[in-house]
């Protein structure tokens, strides 16, 4: 049995079918999955050890459908359910899965487990999709060809038609024949029975798979038509016919043409002799030549000088074309081609050159391939060539104007099915080259959804009317979702019957123009005038005849009309600014000598009224086959406004940069689209980082913000950004050196015309010094209040103690008369009273408002620090490192050295307790360190900061403001001391530093990271 199970597992693991048993309890590991789950990149252990959950590999879009199907199965109590969905393999590939799941129930109907199998059906899905696409392509092709395609079901005896059958038969859709009997009504009575028998014979003959039919058709208008068609029979393996697929062509006109051609063969010779073309016929067998037409007039020769092909006819061909014609003719005669068309020049006897078109047809022996006859026609196409050359030049001018103008030009043909673009269409729509709209529907899909129906209706109305021109304004949505305002000047070209055959239009992006007009409050009438009349000047110069042509905005550009310019001795180049003219001439000479055909110039023009404008000149050269310039076509645009805006923007940016770099605050500019941030000011110094560590993205800067402030700042930014108001934020940052600073951020949000946020500019100010002053002021006020309160209590207690101690003294005078027990009680009263007197004295110290500086002297700061450090090394936990980094004989302060010793000792005792109260107690990594730094601002050269640091458990932020208040303590009586503090140590420190040393003290602490006391003291200059 075990062997059978192993064999079955081996069979499954080597098959595409994956077996599974799922646990019905959510978030529990699967019970079983076969090893061949590895075909998706996952291992069996991933699922059994719950490292991978099956729902995590299901495609997110299919997960709701799977859960819904499972709930439906449970609700309806079906035995099993089938599903098709997608999964994502470990490599990220998407695969289609067939899933058949059953559930095993206990006797109460509860699900014990789910089991079943899954199978990769991706290939099947892709084949089905390809089949559907193939069928759809067939339908589209069948519906759009000029022929009629049919599919006849031999079993059902029914037709399916593709194409315009109703148009050919002149019937309605309801009259389309579905059976052969219905179709027979339209077949000519003399052909109907013959066609029916032939089709029946083809169907019954198992060896037949192809057939050909020709018959006459009588449409509903009773005008006889001739149809022919080919068919293919689809059979099963037994040869039985299943379907007939065929194509029907209306060959009425073709048949009539062939008949007419046969009838005209005789008339050919008569017509050829009177044609303006030269017709020649050379018989290789008889070596005879027949020529028809005005040969004498064509070549300009006498009768006896007529060239006889194929020998001396080459003498009349233009010398530069002769070898080309001879090579092409020889190659043609040596090939199996039946027709040759050549254009070349001939030289008439009088020396004039004419262009001609030579159409030569060779008739060969069908068996041997030998030449039997050559028939040719020579046409004088000189006038046609001149017209075509002019047309090419005209089209080239149009293309240059279209590609170099400020607008995007389009040309619709074939009823909107095809479109040609001229200009930078990729940049205009923000698309890749393969995404450019290729037809009318794709162009409409790029419009704003609110504009699509309206614009489509207006274009349809234009096509249905007799109008030739229309101007539209609408919005497009670029690929990056940016909305742009567009002006579309559209012109319809119609045939003689008025039917549209082509639409040519120009698209202008008027988004910026609209913005500027709103700013300048220009009227709508002026906007229409500017939008509908381009100000670009098109300038064309012919290097052969030195002729100049101008088109477009000459008057708007130079302030002079074309008529005035033609009469004036000044030419266009005379309007170029004197300082630019020589430069442009040199660049133009270099351009003409190069092989380039395009160049951009920027220069100034001096208008007729003396105003100077800036211009952009896009010049295109048309060269001959030797590379010599024939024509220059330029599109000249007035860019004065753009130039001035750019110059003003440069000045504005430079002013902003100058101000930003010289203020004490830090200015930043955040680009929302690029997610990049630019800093103005010494951000590296403020964060104590290197220049290569300056955050270039806002996410990198957010890492410096205090963790407790991050979420608050994010929520405040979201609220203010959505409210579209400027905002101010206060938060803390943690510098690289670990110090915490208080910052204020004032920001302003900038949006585009659609309201989309594009930029944020802010100013960061360091408020740490201000915050410290505010905290110190608050402590001083509270100390004053407590001092006044303590002074009053001390006065009252002293009066009470005076009475108690006085009476105790009287009792002690009679000690000999009292019992031993009473004397002990009296001594206890005396001791307790003295202790109370000592406490009262301390309270009086706090209550004292005058700044006492008795015993003040100048002393070396490092000496006192050394005394305290050495004392702590000898009397406290030796695991804790104690270090003094202050150099001797360098920094001196004025005050009572004993009191400063008391300050450092109180701080040291607190640090020892803080280290010992940590979770793991004191270790050799713990430390107490005292060093110095210098304050910023006005006190930089007059004060010194003593930094007292420890690696203790830290102080919670909520307690920091209360640390210097009398009787406030965080000591719990745990650790080595086991004694709960009275809360007077730090208040005494504060009192001594602020009242007796004219200094200040601040705390910076983080839980589990330690504490730093910053003691700022006046520095004494010993020199």
Q: Give pLDDT tens digits for 71-96.
A: 888 788 787 888 999 999 999 999 99
Q: How many CA atoms lie within 13 A of 297 on its CB side?
A: 10
Q: Does residue 550 or residue 631 have the better pLDDT?
A: 631
Asked if residue 983 has pLDDT above 50, the reply is no
> Which residue matches tokens 């005035």?
564
Could you tell me the pLDDT band of residue 919, with boundaries at 50, 70 and 90?
Answer: confident
Secondary-structure percent of the chain, ordered helix, strand, coil, rounded to 5: 45, 30, 30
Q: Does residue 396 or residue 242 have the better pLDDT?
A: 242
Please write down the HEC assignment for all residues of 59-79. CCCCHHHHHHHHHHHHHHCCC
CB 355 within 8 A of CB 380: yes
Identify the pLDDT of residue 526: 42
Whole-number average pLDDT of the chain: 81
**Helix H or strand E segment including 543:** none
Identify the pLDDT of residue 851: 40
Asked if residue 401 has pLDDT above 60, the reply is no
pLDDT (mean) for 777-791? 59
Asked if residue 8 has pLDDT above 90, the reply is no
> Which residue matches tokens 């040969």?
295
For residue 236, give Cα distances in angstroms to 138, 155, 208, 240, 519.
22, 12, 13, 5, 77
Q: Give pLDDT tens digits for 110-146.
A: 888 888 889 899 988 888 888 777 767 666 655 555 6
Please confirm whether the linkage preceding 310 is cis (ω < 30° from 0).
Answer: yes
Q: How far apart are CA 54 and CA 32, in angstroms?
A: 12
Q: Find, among 433, 437, 494, the residue nearest to 469 by Cα.
A: 494
Task: Tell whether 553 and 623 lie within a shared domain.
Answer: yes
pTM of the model: 0.30
Asked if residue 28 has pLDDT above 60, the reply is yes
**Helix H or strand E segment including 334:** helix 319-334
- The percent of residues above 70 in pLDDT, for the chain, comes to 84
Task: Tell whether 608 and 478 lie within a shared domain.
Answer: no
Identify the pLDDT of residue 944: 93
Q: What size, in residues, is the chain?
A: 1023
pLDDT (mean) for 943-947? 94
Task: Tell whether 839 and 726 lie within a shared domain.
Answer: no
Q: How far apart are CA 850 and CA 784, in angstroms?
A: 11
DSSP β-bridge partners for residue 20: 33, 116
Q: Find, among 1013, 985, 1015, the residue nearest to 998 by Cα.
A: 1015
pLDDT (mean) for 711-720? 81
CB 487 within 8 A of CB 451: no
- Residue 279's region, left for phi above 0, alpha for psi from -120 to 50, else beta, is beta
Q: Is residue 656 part of a domain?
A: no
Task: Tell whether 298 and 280 lie within a shared domain.
Answer: yes
Q: Find, among 154, 163, 133, 140, the residue nearest to 199 by Cα.
A: 154
Domain at 708, CATH number: 3.30.450.20
**Which SS3 state, helix, strand or coil, does residue 428 take?**
helix
Q: How far apart are CA 234 and CA 552, in angstroms?
A: 65
Question: Of 532, 566, 592, which one is at a domain's C-terminal end?
Answer: 532
Q: How far apart are CA 854 and CA 841, in angstroms?
A: 17
Task: Tell whether 861 and 1003 lie within a shared domain.
Answer: yes
Q: Is residue 720 part of a domain?
A: yes
pLDDT (mean) for 184-197? 90
> Which residue matches tokens 């099956």?
54
**Which SS3 state, helix, strand or coil, does residue 991 take?**
helix
Identify the pLDDT of residue 96: 94
Identify the pLDDT of residue 861: 93
Asked if residue 543 has pLDDT above 80, the reply is yes
Q: Which residue range forms the structural domain that includes residue 742?
A: 663-757
Q: How far apart are CA 680 and CA 1020, in angstroms?
A: 37
Task: Tell whether 862 and 978 lie within a shared domain.
Answer: yes
Asked if residue 780 has pLDDT above 70, the reply is no
Question: Of 380, 396, 420, which one is at a domain's C-terminal end?
Answer: 380
CB 498 within 8 A of CB 450: no
Structure tokens at 274: 């009177």
Asked if residue 937 has pLDDT above 70, the reply is yes
Structure tokens at 576: 């170029």
Asked if residue 747 has pLDDT above 80, the reply is yes
Q: Is residue 117 part of a domain?
A: yes
Structure tokens at 983: 């809360």
Dump the DSSP string for 665-732: SEEEEEETTTTEEEEES-HHHHHT--GGG--SSHHHHHTTB-HHHHHHHHHHHHHHHHHT--EEEEEE
Q: Is residue 394 part of a domain?
A: no
In 25-143, beta strands by DSSP E: 32-33, 80-88, 94-105, 111-120
Q: Is residue 479 part of a domain?
A: yes
Identify the pLDDT of residue 842: 59
Task: Tell whether 102 and 41 lie within a shared domain.
Answer: yes
Task: Tell whether 465 and 519 lie within a shared domain.
Answer: yes
Q: Give pLDDT tens digits for 53-74.
A: 888 889 999 989 888 888 888 7
Could you tell me the pLDDT band of residue 219, with boundaries at 50, 70 and 90?
Answer: very high
Q: Give pLDDT tens digits for 309-340.
A: 555 567 788 888 888 988 988 888 888 888 89
Kind of pairing between the strands at 927-933 and 881-884: parallel
Could you tell me the pLDDT band of residue 981, with boundaries at 50, 70 and 90?
Answer: very low
How many other C-beta atoms can be found within 10 angstroms of the C-beta atom of residue 87?
A: 21
CB 969 within 8 A of CB 979: no
pLDDT (mean) for 722-728? 75
Asked if residue 547 has pLDDT above 90, the reply is no
Task: Tell whether 876 and 1011 lie within a shared domain.
Answer: yes
φ, ψ at 995 (rounded to 5°): -90, -30
Asked if residue 243 has pLDDT above 80, the reply is yes
- The percent of residues above 90 in pLDDT, for the chain, comes to 13
Dump the DSSP string for 302-321: -GGG---TTTGGGGGB-HHH
Identify the pLDDT of residue 338: 84
Q: Is residue 913 part of a domain?
A: yes
Asked if residue 740 has pLDDT above 60, the reply is yes
Could you tell me the pLDDT band of residue 656, with boundaries at 50, 70 and 90?
Answer: low
CB 553 within 8 A of CB 534: yes
Asked if residue 52 has pLDDT above 90, the reply is no
Asked if residue 522 has pLDDT above 50, the reply is no
**Number of independent structural domains in the chain:** 8
Structure tokens at 434: 């393969």
Q: How far apart are CA 139 and CA 155, in angstroms?
A: 22
Task: Tell whether 555 and 673 lie within a shared domain.
Answer: no
How many other C-beta atoms can be found within 10 angstroms of the C-beta atom of residue 308?
A: 11
Which of 144-158, 209-223, 392-406, 917-931 is the least confident region? 392-406
Asked if residue 418 has pLDDT above 70, the reply is yes
Asked if residue 786 has pLDDT above 70, the reply is no
Distance of CA 503 to the CA centre of its chain: 33
Identify the pLDDT of residue 93: 94
φ, ψ at 119 (rounded to 5°): -140, 135
Question: Of 380, 395, 416, which one is at a domain's C-terminal end?
Answer: 380
CB 27 within 8 A of CB 127: no
Structure tokens at 67: 């859960």
Q: Give pLDDT tens digits for 258-298.
A: 777 666 655 656 555 556 678 877 787 777 777 777 777 77
Cα first-last separation, the chain: 103
Identify the pLDDT of residue 831: 81
Asked if residue 500 has pLDDT above 50, the reply is yes
pLDDT (mean) for 688-713? 89
Which of 254-263, 500-509, 554-563, 905-914 is the least confident region? 254-263
Task: Tell whether 700 and 809 lie within a shared domain.
Answer: no
Q: Is residue 48 part of a domain?
A: yes
CB 534 within 8 A of CB 409: no
Q: Does residue 530 or residue 656 have the better pLDDT?
A: 656
Q: Is residue 719 part of a domain?
A: yes
Asked if residue 403 has pLDDT above 80, the reply is no
Identify the pLDDT of residue 251: 86
What letters, b where the CB count within 10 A reaches 16 and e where it falls short, cover 644-671?
A: eeeeeeeeeeeeeeeebeeeebbbbbbe
Strand order in the sheet with 469-477: 418-422, 408-413, 500-509, 483-494, 469-477
For residue 417, give Cα distances in angstroms to 411, 465, 714, 1010.
11, 20, 51, 75
For residue 25, give Cα distances in angstroms to 110, 221, 722, 747.
12, 76, 43, 51
Asked if residue 160 has pLDDT above 80, the reply is yes
Could you tell me the pLDDT band of residue 474, with boundaries at 50, 70 and 90?
Answer: very high
Q: Does residue 110 or residue 887 have the better pLDDT?
A: 887
Identify the pLDDT of residue 103: 85
Asked if residue 521 has pLDDT above 80, the reply is no
pLDDT (mean) for 404-420? 75
Task: Tell whether 863 and 1010 lie within a shared domain.
Answer: yes
């Amino acid at each position: 049995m075990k062997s059978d199970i192993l064999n079955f597992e081996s069979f499954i693991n080597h098959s595409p079918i994956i077996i599974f048993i799922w646990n019905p309890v959510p978030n529990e590991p699967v019970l079983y999955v076969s090893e061949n789950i590895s075909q998706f990149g996952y291992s069996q252990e991933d699922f059994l050890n719950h490292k991978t959950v099956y729902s995590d590999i299901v495609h997110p879009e299919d997960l709701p459908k799977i859960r819904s199907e499972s709930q439906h199965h449970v609700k309806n109590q079906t035995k099993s359910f089938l599903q098709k969905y997608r999964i994502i393999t470990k490599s990220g590939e998407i695969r289609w899965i067939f899933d058949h799941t059953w559930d095993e129930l206990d006797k109460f109907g509860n699900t014990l487990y789910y089991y079943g199998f899954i199978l990769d059906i991706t290939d099947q899905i892709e084949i089905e999709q390809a089949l559907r696409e193939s069928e759809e392509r067939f339908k589209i092709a069948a519906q759009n060809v000029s022929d009629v395609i049919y599919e006849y079901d031999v079993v059902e005896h029914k037709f399916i038609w593709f194409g315009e059958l109703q148009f050919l038969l002149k019937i309605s859709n309801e009259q389309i024949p579905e059976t052969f009997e219905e179709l027979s009504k339209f077949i000519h009575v003399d052909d109907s029975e013959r066609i029916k028998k032939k089709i029946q014979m083809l169907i019954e003959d198992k060896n037949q798979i192809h057939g050909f039919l020709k018959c006459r058709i009588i449409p509903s208008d009773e005008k006889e038509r001739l149809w022919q068609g080919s068919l293919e029979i689809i059979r099963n393996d037994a040869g039985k016919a299943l379907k007939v697929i065929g194509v029907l062509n209306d060959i009425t006109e073709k048949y009539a043409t062939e008949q007419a051609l046969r009838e005209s063969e005789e008339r050919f010779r008569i017509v050829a002799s009177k044609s303006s073309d030269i017709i020649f016929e050379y018989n290789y067998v008889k070596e005879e030549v027949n020529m028809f037409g005005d040969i004498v007039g064509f070549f300009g020769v006498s009768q006896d000088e007529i060239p006889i092909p194929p020998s001396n006819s080459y003498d009349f061909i233009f010398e530069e074309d002769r070898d080309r014609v001879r090579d092409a003719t020889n190659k043609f005669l040596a090939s199996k081609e039946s027709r040759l068309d050549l254009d070349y020049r001939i030289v008439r006897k009088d020396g004039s050159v004419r262009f001609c078109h030579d159409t030569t047809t060779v008739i060969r022996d069908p068996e041997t391939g030998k030449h039997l006859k050559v028939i040719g026609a020579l046409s004088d196409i000189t006038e046609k060539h001149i017209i075509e050359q002019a047309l090419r030049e005209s089209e080239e001018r149009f293309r240059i104007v279209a590609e170099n103008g400020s607008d995007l030009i389009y040309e619709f043909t074939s009823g909107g099915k095809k479109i040609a673009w001229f200009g930078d269409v990729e940049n205009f729509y923000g698309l890749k080259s393969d995404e450019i709209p290729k037809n009318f529907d794709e162009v409409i899909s790029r419009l704003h959804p609110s504009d699509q129906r309206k614009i489509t209706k207006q274009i349809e109305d234009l096509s249905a009317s007799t109008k030739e021109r229309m101007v539209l304004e609408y919005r497009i949505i670029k690929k990056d979702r940016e909305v742009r305002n567009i002006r579309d000047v559209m012109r319809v070209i119609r045939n003689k019957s008025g039917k549209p055959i082509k639409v040519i239009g120009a698209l202008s992006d008027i988004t910026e123009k609209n913005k500027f007009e709103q700013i300048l409050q220009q009227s709508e009438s002026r906007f229409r005038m500017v939008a509908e009349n381009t100000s670009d000047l098109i300038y064309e110069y012919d290097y052969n005849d030195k002729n100049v042509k101008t088109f477009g905005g000459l008057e708007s550009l130079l302030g002079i009309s074309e008529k005035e310019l033609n009469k004036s001795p000044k030419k266009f180049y005379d309007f170029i600014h004197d300082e630019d003219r020589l430069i442009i001439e040199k660049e133009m000479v270099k351009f003409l000598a190069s092989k380039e055909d395009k160049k951009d110039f920027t220069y100034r023009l001096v208008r007729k009224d003396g105003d100077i404008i800036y211009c952009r000149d896009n010049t295109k050269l048309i060269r001959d086959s030797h590379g010599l310039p024939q024509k220059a076509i330029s599109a000249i645009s007035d860019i004065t406004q753009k130039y001035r805006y750019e110059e003003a923007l440069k000045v504005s940016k430079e002013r902003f940069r100058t101000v930003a770099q010289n203020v004490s605050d830090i200015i930043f500019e955040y680009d929302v689209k690029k997610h990049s941030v630019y800093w103005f000011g010494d951000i590296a110094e403020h964060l104590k980082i290197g220049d290569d560590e300056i955050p270039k993205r806002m996410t990198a800067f957010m890492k410096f913000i205090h963790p407790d402030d991050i979420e608050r700042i994010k929520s405040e930014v979201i609220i203010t950004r959505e409210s579209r108001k400027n905002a101010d934020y206060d938060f803390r940052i943690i510098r690289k050196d670990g110090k915490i600073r208080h910052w204020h951020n004032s920001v302003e949000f900038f949006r585009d015309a659609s309201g989309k946020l594009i930029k944020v500019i802010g100013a960061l100010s360091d408020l740490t010094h201000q915050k410290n002053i505010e905290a110190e002021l608050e402590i001083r006020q509270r100390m004053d209040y407590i001092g006044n309160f303590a002074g009053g209590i001390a006065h009252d207690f002293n009066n009470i103690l005076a009475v108690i101690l006085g009476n105790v003294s009287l009792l002690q005078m009679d000690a000999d008369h009292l019992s031993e027990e009473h004397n002990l009680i009296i001594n206890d009263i005396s001791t307790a009273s003295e202790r109370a007197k000592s406490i009262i004295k301390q309270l009086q110290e706090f209550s004292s408002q005058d700044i006492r500086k008795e015993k003040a002297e100048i002393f070396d700061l490092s000496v006192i620090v050394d005394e305290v450090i050495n004392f702590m090394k000898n009397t406290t936990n030796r695991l804790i490192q104690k270090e003094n980094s202050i150099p001797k004989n360098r920094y001196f302060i004025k005050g009572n050295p004993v009191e400063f010793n008391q300050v450092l000792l109180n701080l040291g005792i607190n640090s020892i307790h803080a280290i010992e109260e940590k979770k793991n107690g004191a270790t050799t990594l713990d430390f107490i360190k005292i060093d110095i730094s210098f304050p910023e601002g006005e006190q930089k050269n007059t004060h010194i900061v003593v930094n007292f640091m420890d690696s203790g458990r830290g102080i919670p932020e909520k307690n920091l403001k209360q640390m210097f208040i009398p009787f406030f303590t965080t000591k719990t009586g745990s650790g080595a001391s086991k004694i709960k503090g009275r809360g007077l140590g730090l208040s005494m420190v504060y009192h001594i530093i602020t009242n007796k040393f004219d200094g200040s003290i601040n705390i910076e602490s983080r839980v589990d990271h330690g504490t730093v006391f910053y003691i700022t003291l006046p520095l004494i200059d010993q020199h």
